[in-house]
Amino acid sequence: MLDSTLVGLHHEEEHHPELLHHFADAQQQRDSASLGMWIFLGTEVMFFGGLFCAYLIYRRWYFGDFGAASKSINAALGATNTAVLICSSLTVVLAVWAAQTARRSLLIGSLVITMLLGLTFLGIKGVEYKEKFDEHHVPGASFSFDHVPIPGHPDQYANPRHAQIFFSLYFIMTGLHALHMIIGLGLFAWLLFMAWKGRFTPEYHTPIEIGGLYWHFVDIVWIYLFPLLYLIDRHP
């Protein structure tokens, strides 16, 4: 009796086991997953947007001091990190394509390289933070920013209080971004595990697609962070 009840639940045509019953078809399920991730990314845009707004206002108020502070952070490392993240976005997109075309080794290889690039990004960030720590540019009791000339006005020194505001924003914005990076690495570790176990097929690889959307978003945030924080006033 129990058997016939259970059999009766699947009397329609066979469908992929991953298709949940409240969706009309697999395409709708994919679309709703994508839409859900995009709405979440919308909230993340607001999250970072508030910080960007604060940054823009203070930068307008204290442009010279921000320029002096910006000049002291390592733009070469920042540019390298931008290139690292762009390469990782490429490997993410290759991973999605590999899942769509059932290329298992390319899928796993792309996921691994994405994670390695993410770790490289965090490593370079760590080097930058260490530089700032050594130069006493970390906001707090040991912060010092004396006698640093404002770019373009060699006779004027930057106001240390305003420079400290820059560094507060620098550490909070890049720190929040790095936290998102770490979360992304955790997500991709899970995706790698599932891919290794063969869970993804051309019909079902939604976690890779929406994990990829998250990673691309983190890349886009950095694409804006880099010129705003590192390149305020770099001309000699």
Partner 1 sequence: MYFGIWAALLLGTFITYKVALIDLGRFNAAVALIIATIKALLVALFFMHIKGAHEKLLKLVVISTVFFLFILLILSMADYGTRTWS
Binding-site ranges for partner 1 (CB under 8 A): 31, 34-35, 38-39, 41-42, 45-46, 49-50, 52-53, 56-57, 60-61, 75, 79, 82-83, 86-87, 89-90, 92-94, 97, 212-213, 216-217, 219-220, 223-224, 226-228, 231-236
Question: 140 or 236, CB closer to partner 1?
Answer: 236
Residues contacting 19, CB < 8 A, separation 6+: 25, 26, 29
How near is the Cβ of 107 to partner 1 at its closest, in Å? 15
**Distance of closest approach, residue 140 Cβ to partner 1, in angstroms:** 27
Residue 48 or 145 with smaller CB distance to partner 1: 48
Find, among 114, 126, 98, 91, the residue nearest to 189 by Cα.
114
Q: Name the 3-class secondary structure at 198.
A: coil
Nearer to partner 1 (CB atom), residue 103 or residue 138 = 103
Contact 77, 230 (CB under 8 A): no
Least CB distance to partner 1 at residue 96 (A): 8
CB of 223 to partner 1, least distance (A): 5
Specify the amino acid at residue 212: G
- Closer to partner 1 by CB, 28 or 144: give it: 28
- d(CA 160, CA 189) in angstroms, rounded, equals 42
Q: Which is nearer to partner 1, 152 or 186 (CB)?
A: 152
* Cα 58 to Cα 161: distance, rounded to the nearest angstrom: 12
Helix, strand or coil for residue 149?
strand
Q: Which amino acid is at 31?
A: D
